[in-house]
Amino acid sequence: MRNLIGTAVGAAIDRRDGDSGVKGAIIGYVASGALRPAAKLGLLAAIAAGAYRLVRKSDKPQATY
C-alpha cells in the first residue's frame, strides 16, 4: 500500500512539468521504499547525538562558589 501511494504521488508531481509521469512514479516508488530505513537511521542519529551531549555535559567540572 505504501508503494502505491508513493508511486501515485510521484506521478502526480512529475505530471506538473508536462511529462507522462512515469519517471515520477518510479522515483516515488523508490523514495517510499527508502523512507523507512532513512527514518530509522535518523532516529538512531538523534539518540546518539543526545547521548553524546549528555556525556559531554557531565564531563565538565562543576563550578563551586
Tell me the per-residue pLDDT of 14-36, one tens digit each, with 9 for 90 and over: 677 666 677 777 777 777 777 77
pTM score above 0.75: no
CA 25 to CA 50: how far, in whole Å?
37
Average pLDDT for residues 37-56, to the nearest whole number? 89
- From the list 44, 50, 36, the residue with the least C-alpha distance to 3 is 36
CA 52 to CA 4: how far, in whole Å?
39
